[in-house]
């Protein structure tokens, strides 16, 4: 009745697996009681609420209100609710109310909420210049 495809038959291009949707990305959460001296690299979403002295690289980074980052952040999507001192490169940056940022930014789109404290240099880049 049903026939399975032999293992040696290649997939047609329509059957090839596609890139995972954002909802399929792995999510890592680092709580506020964690202190890190060193780099963090993630291929998914990183929700960071601790303290770090060094670099963070991920597809999407959320620095929660308890986050204290001294270093560089690289991400396609960066949301800042806590503190960042250093530098950030991201396609989309959202700096929320109550945030304290003293950093140099390279970004494609930037949103700064009223009440955010920001200091640093801001430079717009295009998506084709961005590399994770």
What is the per-residue pLDDT across 44-94, written as a single tens digit (0 to 9) for each?
999 999 999 999 999 999 999 999 999 999 999 999 999 999 999 999 999
56-63 and 68-80 as β-strands: parallel, antiparallel, unpaired? parallel
Higher pLDDT, 78 or 130: 78
pLDDT of residue 38: 93
Residues 122 and 109 sit within 8 Å (Cβ to Cβ)? no
Mean pLDDT of the chain: 86
Percent of the chain with pLDDT over 90: 74
Q: What is the mean pLDDT of residues 96-101?
A: 95
pTM assigned to the model:
0.79
The residues, ordered by sequence, that sit 6+ positions from 32 with a Cβ below 8 Å of its Cβ are 49, 50, 64, 66, 67
pLDDT for residue 23 = 52
Question: What is residue 21's predicted lDDT score, i.e. its pLDDT?
Answer: 56
Nearby residues of 48 by Cβ (< 8 Å), 6 or more positions away: 30, 40, 56, 61, 62, 63, 64, 67, 69
């Amino acid at each position: 009745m049903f026939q399975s495809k032999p293992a040696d038959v290649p997939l047609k291009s329509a059957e090839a697996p596609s890139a995972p949707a954002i909802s399929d990305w792995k999510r890592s959460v680092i709580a506020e009681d964690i202190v890190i001296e060193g780099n963090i690299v993630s291929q998914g979403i990183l929700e960071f609420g601790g303290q770090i002295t060094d670099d963070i690289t991920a597809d999407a980074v959320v620095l929660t209100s308890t986050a204290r980052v001294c270093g560089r952040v690289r991400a396609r999507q960066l949301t800042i609710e806590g503190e960042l001192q250093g530098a950030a490169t991201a396609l989309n940056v959202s700096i929320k109310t109550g945030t304290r940022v003293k950093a140099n930014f390279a970004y494609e789109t930037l949103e700064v909420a009223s009440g955010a404290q920001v200091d640093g240099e801001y430079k717009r880049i295009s998506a084709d210049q961005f590399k994770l």
